[in-house]
Amino acid sequence: MRAFVVLSVVLASVSSVFAQTASAAAYATTEAPIAKAGVLANIGPSGSKSQGAKAGIVIASPSTSNPDYLYTWTRDSSLVFKALIDQYTSGIDTTLRGAIDNFFNAEKILQQVSNPSGTVSTGGLGEPKFNIDETAFTGAWGRPQRDGPALRATALITYANYLYSTGNTTFVSNTLWPVIKLDLDYAANNWNQTTFDLWEEVSSSSFFTTAVQHRSLREGATLATKLGVTSSASTYTSAASSLLCFLQSYWNPAGGYITANTGGGRSGKDANTVLTSIHTFDPAAGCDAVTFQPCSDKALSNLKVYVDSFRSIYGINSGIASNAAVATGRYPEDTYYNGNPWYLTTLAVAEQLYDALIVWNARGSLNVTSTSLAFFQQFSSSVTTGTYPSTSTTFTTLTSAVKTFADGFVAVVAKYTPSSGALSEQFDKSSGSQLSAADLTWSYAAALTAFEARNGTTFASWGAAGLTTSCSSSGSGSGGGSGSSGSVPVNFQETATTVYGENIFIVGSISPLGNWDPNSAIALSAANYPNWQVSISLPASTTFQYKYIRKYNGAVTWESDPNRSFTTPSSGSYNENDTWR
């Protein structure tokens, strides 16, 4: 009897943790002011939970142990302030000016703080986090993280463009620009360098980092031109062209998803890619796949593969239909706190889908390609490739299904939000209760931006419209123009042991190497087995990525990450000797 009483008390208290069985609409209404207050509470000097942070410093979370997040991360702070700057510059909240100026002044100070990554001129801008009194954090950490300067530049450029348009041009040129320029120069000079990813774990190249660097340099070039700094504008444009080529190489055509990191030994399915889509969304760019816009066929295919990777690994997702929303985490192999769903990643999926709906509705049509077919067939198994105008029943069927799907992710977050509305970093994959850092600033900001997208609110474009690549003809490093039109023979030799009937091919990021399509890969000869060999004529002075693959009975096996990289000589020929990995 006593045991029974105790058990029912426990059950009652567990169920009261999940007070919010609300619909997406109801949750957005009640949670939006809580999320906004949650963000502001974590900003110094007067935020109620900011615990002595200097003015303009964003703490990641007030949690001081398990984990200790009472630091300021450039990534978190910049993403949070981008959301606040969007609210200020679009007139949603005109009271934020003082907080934004504080943020600018704090970041200007942090740029100059010497730290374990270097000084302002020797790499220190890539330092991921600082103490909240604006001194360097000197403990061991995954550094550098090269997304930070780009994200900060994007936030500050949004502010600068607004002030410029209201006539405050001197302040923009004399005060904001020197700070923005440091971050953009860092991105332009270091885009090709190894970086820790946004989860601070893998040192390689990271899709999110490449994409946000690309974005910052595009909008940075436009601002530089406006301010008459033409040499910076051309430096940024040329680096951006290289970045856009490099960005294409993360696409995995066989898997239908974007490989998040070139290293790390994981599947590559990662919220990194969904966060990229929402943080590089440009409502003017339609559904362009070259910048992986939220409604692009590649980003939608990727979203499905990413979401599906969590269906069977989290207990709280069991029993949910295979085409309905589930809780998602950073990546399926995650072991941080045993690997759990995160609020900000589950909300990012919803936001990408809301962004897609904004564009389809604005354009009055929706395109289904062979790449996005599997995504759409989740909702209507009979749908075929084609363009569907908003007057068609297919458009109505698909957009309403996508809206329901998107709202489902918000409802999952609602279900695992306690009645207080507080958002931590993670929620337990089995019990759903909150885990890791409490009151994570980024979780609150993720809720705000998802709700805005749900309402159809859009913010300033960054210049993604109409971008194209010319990677195979000009090389990823040249940015086009200076025409070295010659080609050079490159002899590729790969040492690989195989079984009878198995063959080695080469595939890579440029068209002579099949643009990463295994069906267009070039076969090597086994005449000198186990040294496989082929000579291929390639454009001179061109940088590209490649890998060898095995084909056996129709199955393709890729070499492990990272991609191999190669730059052809300007003339002559070259022998490249590799060994299967």
The contact pattern for ligand NOJ, residues 280-319, with x = CB under 6 A and - = no contact, is: ----------------------------------------
Judged by CB under 6 A, how many residues of this single chain contact ligand NOJ?
11
Distance CA 307, CA 269 (A): 9
Q: How far is the CB of 258 from ligand NOJ (least distance, A)?
A: 18
Q: How far is the CB of 369 from ligand NOJ (least distance, A)?
A: 32
Residue 201 is a binding residue for ligand NOJ (CB under 6 A): yes
The contact pattern for ligand NOJ, residues 552-581, with x = CB under 6 A and - = no contact, is: ------------------------------
Beta bridge mates, 387: 367
Candidates 107, 147, 183, 197; catalytic one: 197
Distance CA 409, CA 535 (A): 50
Distance CA 410, CA 427 (A): 14
Among 31, 76, 183, 494, indicate the residue that binds ligand NOJ (CB under 6 A): 76
Q: How far is the CB of 30 from ligand NOJ (least distance, A)?
A: 24
Query: Where in 428-467 is the site for ligand NOJ (CB under 6 A)?
Result: 442
Closest CA to 154 of 459, 469, 447: 459
Q: Which is nearer to ligand NOJ, 209 or 543 (CB)?
A: 209
Stretch that binds ligand NOJ, among 78-86, 160-168, 197-205, 310-318 (CB under 6 A): 197-205
Distance CA 547, CA 556 (A): 12
Residue 75 is a binding residue for ligand NOJ (CB under 6 A): yes
| 314: Cβ contacts below 8 Å, ≥ 6 apart | 326, 327, 329, 340, 341, 429, 430
Q: Which amino acid is at 420?
A: S
Beta bridge mates, 174: none
Distance CA 74, CA 233 (A): 24
Residue 200 is a binding residue for ligand NOJ (CB under 6 A): yes
Candidates 93, 101, 200, 333; catalytic one: 200
Residue 198 is a binding residue for ligand NOJ (CB under 6 A): yes
480: left (phi over 0), alpha (psi -120 to 50) or beta: left
Q: Which is nearer to ligand NOJ, 147 or 494 (CB)?
A: 147
Residue 73 is a binding residue for ligand NOJ (CB under 6 A): yes
Among 81, 88, 191, 199, indicate the residue that binds ligand NOJ (CB under 6 A): 199
Q: How far is the CB of 145 from ligand NOJ (least distance, A)?
A: 8
Active site residue 197: yes
Q: Does 580 show up as a binding residue in the annotation?
A: no
H helices within 429-529, ranges in order?
441-454, 471-474
Contact at 8 Å (CB) between 254 and 505?
Answer: no
Residue 132 is a binding residue for ligand NOJ (CB under 6 A): no
Beta bridge mates, 426: 342, 435
Torsion angles phi and psi, residue 252, rounded to 5: -105, 100
Contact at 8 Å (CB) between 209 and 147?
Answer: yes
Describe the crossing of helices 177-190 and 97-111 by its angle, rounded to 10 degrees. 50
Stretch that binds ligand NOJ, among 70-78, 82-90, 216-224, 481-489 (CB under 6 A): 70-78
Residue 131 is a binding residue for ligand NOJ (CB under 6 A): no
Altogether, the residues listed in the chain come to a count of 581
Q: How far is the CB of 442 from ligand NOJ (least distance, A)?
A: 6
Active site residue 200: yes
CA pseudo-torsion sign 96, 99, 105, 108:
negative
The contact pattern for ligand NOJ, residues 378-417, with x = CB under 6 A and - = no contact, is: ----------------------------------------
Stretch that binds ligand NOJ, among 35-43, 73-81, 412-420, 542-550 (CB under 6 A): 73-81
Distance CA 518, CA 548 (A): 10
Q: How far is the CB of 528 from ligand NOJ (least distance, A)?
A: 44
Among 39, 43, 59, 60, indicate the residue that binds ligand NOJ (CB under 6 A): 60
Residue 333 is a binding residue for ligand NOJ (CB under 6 A): no
Closest CA to 251 of 508, 542, 551: 508
Task: Report the residue closest to ligand NOJ, judged by CB.
Answer: 336
Angle at 305 between CA 411 and CA 252, to 5 degrees: 150
Contact at 8 Å (CB) between 501 and 459?
Answer: no
Beta bridge mates, 576: 492
Residues with catalytic annotation? 197, 200
Task: Return residues touching ligand NOJ (CB under 6 A).
Answer: 60, 69, 73, 75-76, 198-201, 336, 442
